[in-house]
Each structure stands twice: as structure tokens, then as C-alpha cells.
Amino acid sequence: MQTNFTLAQLADPHVAESEKILRACVHCGFCTATCPTYVTLGNELDSPRGRIYLIKDMLENNRPADEQIVTHIDRCLSCLACMTTCPSGVNYMHLVDHARAHIEKTYTRPLPNRLIRSVLAMVLPYPSRFRAALKLARLGRPFAGLFDKVAALKPLAAMLRLAPKTVVASSAMALPGIHPAKAERRGRVAILTGCAQPVLEPGINEATISLLTRLGVEVVVPQGEGCCGALVHHMGREEAALDAARRNVDAWMLEIDRGGLDAIVITASGCGTTIKDYGFMLRLDPAYAEKAQRVAALAKDVTEYLTTLDLPEPEQKPGLTVAYHSACSMQHGQKIKNQPKDLLARAGFIVKEPREGHLCCGSAGTYNILQPEISAKLRQRKVKNLAATGANVIATGNIGCITQIAGGAGMPIVHTVKLLDWAYGGQRPTGV
Ligand code: SF4
Ligand code: SF4
């Protein structure tokens, strides 16, 4: 694609990066076929190619964002299916991240939208605030129908519906400290405890620590780590995202210097995609650029790390049929496609894949709150395809997808690592 940026514009490294990305696009439109919003809405402006044109126009003309571009960029799930499909290697992720940051700087959203986004940014990344909010949501749930009647308040209704009916106690295993290997030691890793996941489902990190330590891996919960920054990053709040990244880099570098790390194990694929991008995100910060690259290189999804271990025979072969739902951040963001399925099959599960596995379930961070209508359509499509597999249980590697799909497909949904932990001598997951 031809671009027309001035030399002065290209002096801005963010613009220079986006220009490189735009030039790689040959506007072939292959990406439209796999874009969930184009498939759902049928509007070219809700396709990757349409959004690329809108972003190009905004950046080239150095224009503040307007309502049209905000509408279509907000509808993008950042699922990155377009990156998997694109034959020209267009880095849509970095382009849309830049567009979102530009929108955040130059566009004033309507007040209700601004308030909801601020509340999400101030609550979700902090486990104690999130826990308190979930308790409050139980009280507010009866009003979800009322909020649904006012367009601007629909996100509140979506938030109340997504909140779990019970809030489970936090896990002592998530506290900073060391979980020693319980077999002959063969590795040392840090685990990202995360922000929303340990509140919604602390059992995921518990199963990970329990499985890894039984396999001979020492697991460190580093002091000082927190939210990976993905939630605010996808809202265009660049500085908040970079601050989160810097704090985690500091926490992990301390552990690298202390006892060395073979990996930083991540159990939410949405976080994994962002942490693997820390090197790029912090490239312009001389104090962090190199450290961020080291950390990003160590980041591994738990299934990715498990495949590097020589696993023993499973203690039991549960023989259940598992529908594997590949989160977008897993398959498109991190290009992890086969490892989770291979691990499940090796552990004795019969693995089935749903039709349209490349399409997002509509979760996408805060998307199911901020774009409830499109999200609901995608959820419906996903649960129908999952139910059609006739499996006993759904496995996936991202808490957002678990929350989004739970209860819809007529079978339980659990994190992949909980099934693996069970097969290798851990606890049977509740509800399975
Ligand atoms: S598939 Fe790639 S090159 Fe083709 S229009 Fe989409 S982004 Fe551009
Ligand atoms: S990230 Fe997903 S929703 Fe956004 S343009 Fe690409 S395929 Fe479409």
C-alpha cells in the first residue's frame, strides 16, 4: 500500500512503525473472510482491511479521531485472526494498538462511555478491587434488565450478567513465595498470578503449581508482579500499560538475578500475548528495552512449557471427550495451536475441535462488556459449535473465554491445565 507521510511525521517512531506496517498491506482482502466482526456485521469498515484504511487516513492526515473511526476500531476484538490469515505478514496488532493510543489522546468519548472505561481500568487490574466489585455486582444483578433498556448503560448490564454468582476465596498459593519441586528438580520458573483470573478461578494457578512441582519444577510467585497491562493496553491507555509492563519486568528480573528462571509461566493466553510483546512495547525506553526483551523471550504459556518437559505416563487416563476451544490470543496471538491438544491427547483425553475454531467467542478482554451485542452473537455461534462436538467437557487456556462460554454449551468448561493436573495425579476438576 502506498503511503504519504511527511518526513516530519516519520520522525515519530510510532508513526514510522505504523507506516512500515501499512506499506506491507497489499489490500488483497483475504483477512475479511476470517474476521469475526466482518463475518457478523458484513460491513467493510468492520473488516481488517477497512480498519487499516481508516487508520491510514487518520494517521497520514494527522487528524484527531472522529466518531466513525472510534466506532469501527472499538468494534475490533483484537482477536488477531487477520494476522493468521494475512499472506503479507501485516502486523495488525501493532497498528491497531497505535490507533487506539491515538484515539485515547485525541477523542473525547461520551460521558457514560468514559466513566465505564475508567471504572474498568481502575478495577479489573487490581484483584482486591475486582473482588469487592464482584461482591457488589451480586447485589446489582436484579437491575441488569433495567440497565439493558438504556443504550449507554448496556455495558453495565453485561458486567452484572458476567459476574459469577459466588465469589471464591483467594488462594494462599498465589502469595509471593517459593513452591519447591516435589520430585528430582529439573527446572525453576516464575508464574504470573495475574489480576482477574486468580479472583474468578484461583484453581487454575493452583493446578499449575501443583502439576509443575510434582513434575520436579520449582515455581516462584515473585514479589511485586501484577496485571500484565493487557486490559488497559487494549483501551489505548499506553502509559498505564507500559507502567504495568515495567513493574513486571522489575519483578521478574529480580528472580532471574536471584536464582535464574527457565520460563515465566502464564496461564491466561491473553496475558501471554501481551507479555511476549513487552520487548516491542518498551523498545523506546532505554532503561527497559533490553530487560523487556529478555523477559518476553522467557514468557511461555503453561502448555508451551509443559511440552518442553519429558512428561511421564499419566497416572490415570480419564477417557473423557474434550472439545478444545483455542482462545484467539493462544492461536492467533501466540501461534500456539497443537501443544494443548497434543498434551490432552497424551494425557488420555479424546480431543475434538469445534467448527469455525478460528472465530472469537466474543470475550476479548473487556469487549463483552463494552460491545455486548456483537459479543453475544459471537458467543451464541461459538457455544453452538462447541455443543455440536458432543464432548463431555470444554478445555481452553484463557479465563476470559471460560467466563464467556460457561453455562452456554451444556457442558462444563475448564482450563486445560486442570485436566492435565488431574491426569497426572492431581485433583479432579469440580464439575467434570
Ligand atoms: S490479508 Fe493482509 S495484505 Fe491482504 S488486505 Fe488483509 S491485511 Fe492487507
Ligand atoms: S483483530 Fe479480529 S476483529 Fe479486529 S480486524 Fe482483525 S480479525 Fe477483525
The pLDDT-based confidence of 45 (bands split at 50, 70, 90) is very high
Q: In the 8-state DSSP scheme, what is residue 182?
A: S
Which residue CA neighbors atom 2 of ligand 2 most closely?
79
pLDDT at 2 over 90: yes
Q: In this structure, how many other beta carbons lie within 10 angstroms of the beta carbon of residue 40?
A: 19
Q: How do strand 263-266 and strand 187-191 relate by DSSP bridges?
A: parallel
Among candidate residues 212, 222, 220, 221, the one with its CA nearest the CA of residue 183: 212
pLDDT digits (tens, 9 = 90+) for 321-342: 999 999 999 999 999 999 999 9
Q: pLDDT band for position 407 (50/70/90)?
A: confident
- pLDDT for residue 143 is more than 90: no
Task: Work out the average pLDDT over 349-367.
Answer: 97
The pLDDT score that the predictor gives to residue 147 is 87
Question: What is the arithmetic mean of pLDDT over 375-381?
Answer: 97
pLDDT of residue 7: 97
Q: Specify the pLDDT at position 386.
A: 98
The 10s digit of each residue's pLDDT in 68-125 is: 999 999 999 999 999 999 999 999 999 999 999 999 999 999 999 999 999 999 999 9
Q: How confident is the model at residue 306 (pLDDT cuts 50, 70, 90)?
A: very high
246-275 pLDDT, tens digit per residue, is: 999 999 999 999 989 999 999 999 999 999
Average pLDDT of the residues of the chain? 96
Q: Write down the pLDDT at residue 141.
A: 86
Residues paired with residue 201 on neighbouring β-strands, in sequence order:
none
* Mean pLDDT score, 200-213: 97
Whether 29 shows a pLDDT value over 90: the answer reads yes
Detail the DSSP E strand segments found in 121-204: 177-179, 187-191
Residue 212 binned pLDDT confidence (cut-offs 50, 70, 90): very high
Task: Give me the pLDDT at residue 165, please.
Answer: 85
Residue 152 pLDDT exceeds 90: no
- The Cβ-side half-sphere exposure at 175, using a 13 Å CA radius, reads 3
The residue contributing the CA closest to ligand 2 atom 5 is 48
How far does the centroid of ligand 1 lie from the alpha carbon of residue 96, in Å? 14
Looking at residue 285, its pLDDT comes to 98
Q: Per the confidence metrics, is the pTM higher than 0.75?
A: yes
Distance 142 CA to ligand 2 centre (A): 34
On the question of pLDDT at 311 being above 90, the answer is: yes
Is residue 237 over pLDDT 90? yes
Answer yes or no: is pLDDT of 391 > 90.
yes
Considering only CA atoms, which residue is closest to atom 7 of ligand 2? 35
Structure confidence at residue 418 as a pLDDT band (50, 70, 90): very high
Nearest residue by C-alpha to atom 8 in ligand 2: 35
Q: What is the pLDDT of residue 317?
A: 82
DSSP per residue, 251-299: HHHHHHHHH--SEEEES-HHHHHHHTTHHHHTTT-TTTHHHHHHHHHHE
Q: Which amino acid is at 411?
A: M
Determine the distance separating the centroid of ligand 2 and the alpha carbon of 353, expressed in angstroms.
21
User: What is the band of 138 on the pLDDT scale with cuts at 50, 70, 90?
Assistant: confident
User: Where does the pLDDT of residue 409 fall: very low under 50, low under 70, confident under 90, or very high at 90 and above?
Assistant: confident
| Residue 408: pLDDT over 90 | no
Residues lining ligand 1, judged by CB closer than 6 Å? 25-31, 48-49, 82, 85-86, 88, 90
For the chain, percent of residues with pLDDT exceeding 90: 89
User: Mean pLDDT lowest for which of 309-318, 348-357, 421-430?
Assistant: 309-318
Residues in the chain: 432
* Rounded Cα gap, residues 295 and 322, in angstroms: 33
Ligand nearest to the CA of 40: 2
